[in-house]
Amino acid sequence: MDAVTPPVTVARHGAVGVIAIDFAPVNALSKAVRQGLLDAVRALEADPDVAALVISGGPGRFIAGADIREMSQPPDAPFLPDVVAAIDACAKPVVAAIAGAALGGGCEIALACDLRLGGPKALMGLTETRLGLIPGAGGTQRLPRLVGVAQAIALICEGRVLKAGDALALGLLDEVVEGDLLAEAIARAPGVPKRRLSALPVPAGDAAADEAAAARARKAAKGVPAIDEAIRVIRAAGEFATGLALERAAFLALRESAEAKALRHLFFAEREAGKVPGLESVAPRPLEAVAVIGAGTMGAGIAVALADAGLSVTLVERDGEAAAAGLQRVADLYARQVKSGRLTDAQGVERRARVTPTADWSRLAAADLVVEAAFEDLAVKADIFRRLDAVAKPGAVLATNTSYLDLDAIAAVTSRPQDVVGLHFFAPANVMKLLEVVRPALAAPDVIATALALAKRMGKQPVVAGNCDGFIGNRIYALYRRHAEVLVEDGASPQAVDAALEAYGFAMGIFAVSDMSGLDIAYAMRKRRAATRDPAERYVSIADRLVEQGRLGRKTGAGWYAYDAAGGKSADPVVEALIAEGRAEKAIVPRSFTPEQIQRRLLAVMANEGAKALAEGIALRASDIDLAFVHGYGFPRTRGGPMWAADQMGLRAVVTEVEAAHAAGGAGSEPAPLLLALARDGRGFADWQPTEQAEQQGGQQP
Ligand code: NAD
């Protein structure tokens, strides 16, 4: 009956008017949905035959949140607060029938209703802070009236998503309905007493608990401005109308903030990264049984990550003793998760039982996918892949976790190069989100599709990379580290470089990170490359000298820093002397660098190398590079990644920095032609399309 404009329709069930939203895929609150909701509420309120309203998102859905694309455009009426205000002002009872996600603005709509009935799959949460915002349609004012200020601060600042049971326990849902949710809502609606949260007082709380919640949120937020604003506005929830006005002003200001824009960029980047041109209709190969070869630091972590995804894992080592040691590593990783409360005892035991250690290679015959994580040595890996070729079943995906080695060379030792792929996990592999999927020249499309499907199943963020030294991440990281060392040789202290990076938002500076990973790995890589290194490249040998003195980083108690027994780090006069010696040998007169100069230089060299990777087709899009650094290298999310940050700096300014870096760093640091071209045209990386690169290459897709 009285159909309104799609995507929102109205139907009458006796005296109940049901407002149904049908806007695929998740009923996002775009303009048409807001308009439809507003019209529907007004029409039903005015209809004398209607006694009560139900808002439904259809089976399995409610309203998953704002339409994030619209957030980068000027606000367009009707605004969400208008819709929520219409519900709040409606003289008739309004029931929310929440069968799926009620997040962000969807949750705010639900909070304006008198009764919230959820299905077993309902999800509730005010998740705006994840996008650098605060709720903008009353969420910061209604939630504290429901759960108190301290709990509201925790829920909003963490952007927590509550499953039906938890939402019920906290009172965000009034009931969970196992049967027909919509029928129940319709049956109940006419008798529902009015209970508008806007009319309720904020429960008298405990000032100390509120303050503790605020302090916890600020600590976890690491300077994200939305968190401070959320706390301020939630605490102002005493008088509803005043609080609402404060909330709206803060929301609109945050929407335009650099942080929110960077977070929106990453939101889209994360969804885009799994899409690879040409793979749209390629089905992945089936995956159930998987195996890992090598149960060291990475192999054990990868086995845990696979077991966490519900897969059964065969963990292959060189001999029985090494296999047992590998299983012990797996057990230790689970024990840590149980101890920290992330897993229950039973879950730890169950997941660990999915991993079977062995030294028997014939066990690999059952695997649908094998990840090799043995030593970083081409001869070792070639030998393993030859043996694997002999035992693995036809169609099995053969993956390597190599950090730098040539994937084509590894694939070439097998009789099935089409089945070989790089799966580059980051340490610790069961924690870090990034999975670089490295695509050798001969890889079959369904092998890449399988890798992407696996990433999804494991909850990892995939980024597809072409085959080159270091792929996307380590290739750019190598330049970043080289220039950090150049800065040190030219006058900055390692502590000053680290402090500048931490001030920029990195959790740790690059020298502290190097000490943590161990200086021997990069040392071995430099030795391997020594013969082919361009003599015109500036070579800073301070790190080599540290390693040659046995200073391998944290594991030896000394590296770029000195470490005390408790792991505390401090500047070390020995390192200062080494640096001074290195400068003296090259007759360098040390100069000083401000934190901003350090930040700009290092950002520029990252973006410059990123531009080279883009032009070569190693990265498909600039946003993939951003994701690699945000999810694999601790680049601050609120800066959006190095390519995004370079765009914000302005590519002309980036070129100037890169020219200075080139003058300081010599060969290998030349400005990228793509960077120069974009800067000349006044463009940014964000609006560069991979097709432009295909055109430059005569129409060939990489
Ligand atoms: P590791 O030395 O801790 O572990 C390697 C393991 O492989 C050892 O347990 C060893 O016994 C086993 N192994 C060696 N040869 C084998 C063989 N023929 N058959 C079965 N097992 C064998 O090394 P790691 O740090 O775990 O690195 C493994 C791989 O992962 C390397 O390719 C490395 O470049 C890559 N990687 C490492 C990191 C990191 O941060 N450590 C990050 C990403 C990728």
Q: Residue 207 class from Cβ within 10 Å (0-12 exposed, 13-18 middle, 19+ buried)? A: exposed
Query: Mean per-residue pLDDT for 135-162?
Result: 97
Atom of ligand 1 nearest to the CA of 298: 26
536 against 694, higher pLDDT: 536
Tell me the CA distances in angstroms from 553 to 42, 286, 353, 544, one per residue in order. 67, 42, 34, 12
Residues 6+ apart with CB under 8 A from 103: 63, 64, 65, 123, 124, 125, 126, 127, 161
- What confidence score (pLDDT) does residue 266 get? 97
Average the pLDDT over 495-508 and give the result: 97
Q: Are 187 and 155 in contact (CB under 8 A)?
A: no
- What would the mean pLDDT of 43-60 be, rounded to a whole number? 97
For ligand 1, the distance from its centroid to the CA atom of residue 578, given in whole angstroms, is 31
**Residue 3 confidence (pLDDT):** 46
Please tell me the predicted confidence (pLDDT) of residue 693.
62
- Residue-wise pLDDT for 415-424, tens only, equals 999 999 999 9
Determine the 3-state secondary structure of 328 from DSSP: helix
The answer to whether residue 108 is catalytic is: yes
Q: Please name the CATH architecture into which domain 289-467 falls.
A: 3-Layer(aba) Sandwich (3.40)
Q: Ligand 1 centre and the CA of 402: distance in Å?
A: 9
Residue nearest atom 31 of ligand 1, based on CA coordinates: 376
pLDDT greater at residue 701 or residue 327? 327
Residue 46 annotated as catalytic: no
pLDDT band, residue 5 (cuts 50/70/90): low
Which residues have C-beta within 8 Å of that of residue 447, sequence separation ≥ 6? 285, 397, 418, 419, 420, 421
- What is the Å distance from ligand 1's center to 294 Cα? 6
Active site residue 128: yes
- Mean pLDDT value of segment 152-175: 97
pLDDT greater than 90 at residue 591: yes
**How many of the other CB atoms lie within 10 Å of CB of 47?**
16
**315, 318, 424: residue to mutate for ligand 1 pocket, most atoms within 8 A of CB:** 318
Q: Tell me the pLDDT band of 69, cut-offs 50, 70 and 90.
A: confident
- Measured CA to CA, the distance from residue 185 to residue 566 in angstroms comes to 59
What 3-state DSSP class applies to 40? helix
Q: Are 644 and 626 in contact (CB under 8 A)?
A: yes
**How many whole angstroms separate alpha carbon 333 and alpha carbon 352?**
9
Residue type, 294: G
Q: Ligand 1 center to residue 385 CA distance, Å?
A: 14
351-410: per-residue pLDDT in tens? 999 999 999 999 999 999 999 999 999 999 999 999 999 999 999 999 999 998 999 999
For atom 10 of ligand 1, the residue with the nearest CA is 294
Cα of 688 from ligand 1 centre, angstroms: 37
Q: Which of 20, 40, 64, 66 is catalytic?
A: 66
Alpha-carbon distance of 540 to 213, in angstroms, equals 47
In DSSP terms, 94 is beta-bridged to 53
CA-closest residue to ligand 1 atom 17: 318
Task: Specify whether the CB–CB gap between 629 and 635 falls below 8 A.
Answer: yes
| Closest ligand 1 atom, residue 383 Cα | 18
Site residues for ligand 1, CB cut-off 6 Å = 293-299, 316-318, 322, 373-376, 380, 384, 401-403, 425-427, 517
* Active-site hit among 128, 184, 372, 436: 128
In which band, very low, low, confident or very high, does the pLDDT at 701 lie, cut at 50, 70 and 90? very low
Instruction: Name the H helices within 340-396.
Output: 345-352, 378-391
**CA 5/CA 332 separation, integer angstroms:** 58
Q: How crowded is the C-beta side of 80, counted as CA atoms within 13 Å?
A: 28
* CATH number 3.90.226.10 is the correct assignment for the domain at 8-256: yes
Going from the Cα of 373 to the center of ligand 1, the distance in angstroms, rounded, reads 5
Per cent of the chain over pLDDT 70 is: 98
Q: Which of 108, 229, 270, 485 is catalytic?
A: 108
Type of residue at 633: Y
pLDDT (tens digit per residue) in 19-47: 999 999 999 999 999 999 999 999 999 99
The structural domains of the chain, with segments of one domain joined by +, span 8-256, 289-467, 474-696
User: From atom 9 of ligand 1, which residue's Cα is the shortest distance away?
Assistant: 296
Q: Higher pLDDT residue, 362 or 225?
A: 362
Return the ligand 1 atom nearest residue 425 CA.
43
Average pLDDT over residues 511-522: 93
User: What rounded mean pLDDT belongs to the chain?
Assistant: 95
Please confirm, yes or no, whether 640 is among the known catalytic residues.
Answer: no
401 CA → ligand 1 middle, Å: 8
Among protein residues, the one with the nearest Cα to ligand 1's atom 12 is 294
Q: How confident is the model at residue 694 (pLDDT cuts 50, 70, 90)?
A: low
Determine which one of 17, 57, 65, 105 is catalytic.
105
pLDDT at 695 over 60: no
What is the structure's pLDDT at 699?
Answer: 38
Residue nearest to atom 22 of ligand 1 (CA): 294
Relative to the CA of 301, which ligand 1 atom is closest? Answer: 26
Give the per-residue pLDDT at 456.
97
- Specify the CATH number of the domain 474-696: 1.10.1040.50
pLDDT reading at 150 higher than 60: yes
Could you give the CA distance from residue 351 to residue 333 in angstroms, rounded to a whole number? Answer: 11
Atom of ligand 1 nearest to the CA of 404: 34
> pLDDT tens for residues 616-632?
999 999 999 999 999 99
- Predicted pLDDT of residue 75: 84
Kindly report the protein residue whose alpha carbon is nearest to atom 44 of ligand 1: 403
Q: Which alpha helices (DSSP H) does 27-125 contain, by range?
A: 31-46, 80-89, 105-112
Please tell me the distance from the alpha carbon of residue 702 to that of residue 694, in angstroms, as a whole number: 7
Tell how far the Cα of 623 is from the centroid of ligand 1, in angstroms.
Answer: 30
**Ligand 1 test: best mutation among 292, 297, 423, most atoms within 8 Å of CB?**
297
Tens-place pLDDT, residues 72-91: 888 899 999 999 999 999 99
Of the candidates 107, 144, 172, 147, the one whose C-alpha atom is nearest the C-alpha of residue 231 is: 144
Residue to mutate, 292, 298, 376, 528, ligand 1, most ligand atoms under 8 Å from C-beta? 298
Which of these, 343, 351, 364, 439, lies nearest to 400 by C-alpha position? 439
Q: Quick one: pLDDT at residue 1? A: 43
Whether the link from the prior residue into 59 is cis, omega within 30° of 0, is no
Give residue 114 CA to ligand 1 midpoint distance, Å: 58
DSSP-H helix ranges across 340-464: 345-352, 378-391, 407-412, 445-458
**Burial annotation 236-268 (CB, 10 A radius, 16+ → b, else e):** bbeebeebbebbbebbeebbebebbbbbbbbee
Contact 514, 487 (CB under 8 A): no
